[in-house]
Structure 1
Amino acid sequence: MRVVCVGAGPAGLYFAISAKLRDAGHEVTVLERDPWAATYGWGVVYWDDLLDVLYRNDPESAREITARSVLWQDQEVRVHGINGEQTAYFGGYGYSIGRSALLDILARRATQLGVDVQYSQHVAEPSALPPADLVVAADGANSRIRDHHKEFGTRVEVGLNPYIWLGTEQPFRSFVFSFNRTPAGWIWLHAYPSVAGISTCIVECSPHTWKALGLDLLGDDEGVQLLEGIFQRALDGHRLLSRSRGAPAHWQRFAHVTNDSWYHDTTVLLGDAAHTTHFTLGSGTRLAMIDAVVLAHSLREYPDVQGALREYDLHRRAELHPVQAAARTSMAWFEHVDQYLDRDAVAFAHAMSVRHAGQSPWHHQLHLATQITAVRGARRAFATGRRWYLARRRGDMAARQRPWDGDEGSAGSESPRSVSAPRPGAPGN
């Protein structure tokens, strides 16, 4: 089968890998509009459930991803208001990997398997593509391939809050949310480690605050300097970084993408072209890579391309519906976060943790207990054992020998269709 995949992000590259692993005879070409190594964005987060999928699907690339990932433990919610700074805590842990490192791993693995990965290939419309039995549109939320076909029934809902994706030299160990009150209104950051010595910072605020601070008029450097001043305590005096192997970061509003169908004729949507989930859920990359595995699996199980695409669309789109609903709820909660910030930090953090609903009856009691230092230590110890057990189960011998809870905080420098519940915080796609 001749397959042309448009987009060399995690979705496109991991589909190419997965398809070649199942049938080495597939002729797979990946076309990427950007130059090689010109990735945008900082770190992306994921959890053990994705590692389980990756190790079952392709242990070789999974081991590299694990080795280049960073472990973060616990989540801190810091509220800087009229009563000074207050901090509340969530439990839990996760992993983060630099987007450039992830793409490097996947591109090398795809090439090793015989995939033809071509960069600087701008595809304006489907007619410009080479002949193919299957076209995979993995070209992001603003997919040109998808937008050429009205049959997908695409709907795009743009969020209210402006946000900007930055890096920082502050080496965060935990997932940190810092809500700062300014004379112009509330502004907050979501921060987590990405690679050794570099963390990701997503800054978000309401449209009113954004304009009142002058961020709509300031240049790139001036805007970053203003944010450094606002978040000086959270950043501990470290700089914010705007450039990540490309142009400076810019303010944007989140595009919530849904489609009535994920395939039309022999064109199929993958990753953000098919669906987006707000960054406060932290699941975009994870869901895109699972999409890739499911599509490759369907193509192997159903020799007829139309049957394979129908199966992929039927199951995967149904599974993503509740996830996207939770993401939309999360986006709306942060768009109206001001109404919760008059509470103390512990109560505010609890409201933040239940914004998706569906929490257990004892969730509030556990949240209160987590504010106690000894309880947090016990939860971290339990999490260490859990990570060791999961690493052993998936056959990750290197991870089993790694000092998971050392000061460096590193992780080493189910069915493919399973989708776990959203976490309390944890943004990052």
Structure 2
Amino acid sequence: MCVKVACVGGGPAGLYLSILLKRQDPSHDVTVYERDPEGSTYGWGVTYWRGLLDRLQEHDPGSARTIEEHSVRWRDGVAHVGDLATRHHGDEGFGIGRHRLLAILAARARELGVRLEFEHPVTGANPPDADLVVAADGAGSALRTHHAGHFGTDIAGGRDPYVWLGTTKVFDAFTFAFTETDHGWIWAYGYGFGPEGSTCVVECAPGTWTGLGLDRADEAEGLVLLEKLFADVLDGHPLTARPSGRAGTPWRTFRTVTNRTWSRGNLVLLGDAAHTTHYSIGAGTTLALEDAMTLAATLHERAGLPDALAHYERERRAALLPVQSAARLSAQWYENLPRYIRLPPEQMFALLGQRHSPLLPYLPPRLYHRLDRAAGRLETLRRLKRRLGPVVARTVQARRLDADGGPGRRGRPDAVPAHRG
């Protein structure tokens, strides 16, 4: 339908959309415009789960295979609370370096004939001439901002300051570390993305941040302090901040972006430009890629551009509702950490895994944990019953037949004939 497409933003969403469009129809004229030089990106690694990998395999087996080959995987989660620790076995998760992911997608896009224009900033004042312009330029989207009144953009700031760091420590599990200080708790999420290292996101309450002096420390001072606070899990490995060109470590608060509508004429929002979800559920890249899958499918299936863009928005809004709810509850769990942190580590970690529950904030944590365990045992019994039911039925039937002397009931001449009505 769209013969000329301009994707503004060379992140996962824009690159993957360009791949899908060229796979659908090689005659499409697709260009990706990225303001930064090739190979430069923010962040360290991204996480995803088996479900996304299966969907990537369905849409483009070539890039899916390469992404999986360059990913690390884990099944365990580990929580360190002060001097105590607990480990739980869970679902299979994956991590890949953001640089590596973008390089894979860029190479695949070029292979299919997509033009990649790096160091080519695009703003609302100079939009590309195309049948469809895709704003995949992130949470601070210049194209969206230029038409913020039309899109009805709302940006809500979070409470807790956080900083996105890297480390040469390679975590073998998704790792949570909670450290108590004189000014309150500070915590980190760590996950490996390759043999070279891991991502380490550090977060704390505003009072802890100012009490520790992290609001006033320069970058080097801040990293030294954090390395001391998390020395037990870092095992002597350093923390590294992304060069930002600004004084001080780049602490920020999370911004939740929502929009009243996602399209304006031939301009459509994709990924973080349309919506953001709190980093603590690790879904940002997954949602961006799923946006690209849905948009590519609707452009292919729908006869007109307005209908396609409206259908894309409806589909993705519906899919996002449970994820956005989970993200809000997850952020609130951490903001209310003192409510849970004094529980025994295994209970605290169990409730960490249940932080998406809308009931958890309204029940005493210990009571919720007991109810959750009871429900888990009940569900286990239900699954066991479903699994064993046919086996038990066959066994009982066999015993009855044996007692009756077989199907002809020769062993029971006095048996009452079955009712035939």
CA distance in 2, matches of 1:303, 1:52: 28
With 56-65 and 256-265 compared, the bigger mean Cα shift is at: 256-265
Match of 1:14 in 2: 16
Asked if structure 2 preserves the Cα contact closer than 8 Å seen for 1:40 and 1:246, the reply is no
Match of 1:59 in 2: 61
* 245 and 17 in structure 1: CA distance in 2 versus 1, 3 angstrom threshold: farther
With 293-302 and 348-357 compared, the bigger mean Cα shift is at: 348-357
TM-score, normalising length from structure 1? 0.81
1:76-95 to 2 correspondences below 5 Å = 76-80=78-82, 84-89=83-88, 91-95=90-94
Match of 2:315 in 1: 315
Q: Which amino acid aligns with 2:112?
A: L
- Structure 1 residue aligned with 2:373, among 364, 372, 394? 364
Mind listing any 5+ residue stretches in structure 2 that lack a counterpart? 360-368, 378-421
Q: Which amino acid aligns with 2:130?
A: A
Match of 1:401 in 2: none
1:186-201 to 2 correspondences below 5 Å = 186-201=185-200
Asked if structure 1 preserves the Cα contact closer than 8 Å seen for 2:13 and 2:289, the reply is yes
Deviation at 1:49, TM superposition (A): 0.7
- Structure 1 residue aligned with 2:140, among 142, 151, 162? 142
- Structure 1 residue aligned with 2:27, among 25, 28, 32? 25
With 248-257 and 22-31 compared, the bigger mean Cα shift is at: 248-257
Asked if structure 2 preserves the Cα contact closer than 8 Å seen for 1:165 and 1:249, the reply is no
CA distance in 2, matches of 1:243, 1:138: 22
1:261-276 to 2 correspondences below 5 Å = 261-276=261-276
SS at structure 2 position matched to 1:280: helix
Asked if structure 2 preserves the Cα contact closer than 8 Å seen for 1:263 and 1:269, the reply is yes
Per-residue CA distance 1:303-350 (angstroms, 9 max, x = gap):
311111011011111211221121111112211212221222122112
CA distance in 2, matches of 1:49, 1:316: 17
Deviation at 1:365, TM superposition (A): 5.6
* 64 and 214 in structure 1: CA distance in 2 versus 1, 3 angstrom threshold: same
Q: Which amino acid aligns with 2:35?
A: R
Match of 1:133 in 2: 131
Give yes or no for the alignment of 1:101 onto 2:100: yes
Deviation at 1:361, TM superposition (A): 9.7
* 275 and 263 in structure 1: CA distance in 2 versus 1, 3 angstrom threshold: same
CA distance in 2, matches of 1:238, 1:366: 41
Deviation at 1:364, TM superposition (A): 2.4
* 158 and 37 in structure 1: CA distance in 2 versus 1, 3 angstrom threshold: same
CA distance in 2, matches of 1:22, 1:303: 15
Deviation at 1:237, TM superposition (A): 1.2
CA distance in 1, matches of 2:16, 2:29: 15
Asked if structure 2 preserves the Cα contact closer than 8 Å seen for 1:189 and 1:202, the reply is yes
Match of 2:305 in 1: 305
Asked if structure 1 preserves the Cα contact closer than 8 Å seen for 2:222 and 2:249, the reply is no
* Higher relative contact order, structure no. (Cα contacts within 8 Å, ≥ 6 residues apart): 1
CA distance in 2, matches of 1:137, 1:293: 15
Deviation at 1:143, TM superposition (A): 0.8
Asked if structure 1 preserves the Cα contact closer than 8 Å seen for 2:152 and 2:261, the reply is yes
Give yes or no for the alignment of 1:290 onto 2:290: yes
TM-score, normalising length from structure 2? 0.82
* 361 and 323 in structure 1: CA distance in 2 versus 1, 3 angstrom threshold: farther
Q: Which amino acid aligns with 2:373?
A: H
Asked if structure 1 preserves the Cα contact closer than 8 Å seen for 2:76 and 2:87, the reply is no
- The number of aligned residues is 364
Q: Which amino acid aligns with 2:131?
A: D
CA distance in 2, matches of 1:203, 1:229: 13
Q: Which amino acid aligns with 2:76?
A: D
Q: Which amino acid aligns with 2:18?
A: A
CA distance in 1, matches of 2:376, 2:347: 9
CA distance in 1, matches of 2:221, 2:249: 13
Asked if structure 2 preserves the Cα contact closer than 8 Å seen for 1:15 and 1:292, the reply is yes
Per-residue CA distance 1:389-422 (angstroms, 9 max, x = gap):
xxxxxxxxxxxxxxxxxxxxxxxxxxxxxxxxxx
Asked if structure 2 preserves the Cα contact closer than 8 Å seen for 1:34 and 1:120, the reply is yes
CA distance in 2, matches of 1:137, 1:90: 39
Give yes or no for the alignment of 1:152 onto 2:154: no
1:344-363 to 2 correspondences below 5 Å = 344-357=344-357, 363=372
CA distance in 2, matches of 1:131, 1:314: 26
Asked if structure 2 preserves the Cα contact closer than 8 Å seen for 1:41 and 1:99, the reply is yes
Deviation at 1:366, TM superposition (A): 9.1
Q: Which amino acid aligns with 1:148?
A: H
> Cα RMSD (Å) of the superposition?
2.1
With 354-363 and 318-327 compared, the bigger mean Cα shift is at: 354-363
Match of 1:220 in 2: 219
With 359-368 and 250-259 compared, the bigger mean Cα shift is at: 359-368
Q: Which amino acid aligns with 2:106?
A: A
Q: Which amino acid aligns with 1:133?
A: D
SS at structure 2 position matched to 1:255: strand
Deviation at 1:73, TM superposition (A): 2.0
Deviation at 1:266, TM superposition (A): 1.0
Match of 2:50 in 1: 48
Asked if structure 1 preserves the Cα contact closer than 8 Å seen for 2:329 and 2:358, the reply is no
Per-residue CA distance 1:256-310 (angstroms, 9 max, x = gap):
1111211121111100011111111111101100110110110000131111101
Asked if structure 2 preserves the Cα contact closer than 8 Å seen for 1:88 and 1:345, the reply is no
Match of 2:208 in 1: 209
Q: Which amino acid aligns with 2:133?
A: V
Asked if structure 2 preserves the Cα contact closer than 8 Å seen for 1:72 and 1:174, the reply is yes
CA distance in 2, matches of 1:282, 1:338: 23
SS at structure 1 position matched to 2:279: coil
CA distance in 2, matches of 1:11, 1:363: 37
* 206 and 252 in structure 1: CA distance in 2 versus 1, 3 angstrom threshold: same
1:249-260 to 2 correspondences below 5 Å = 250-260=250-260
Q: Which amino acid aligns with 1:140?
A: G
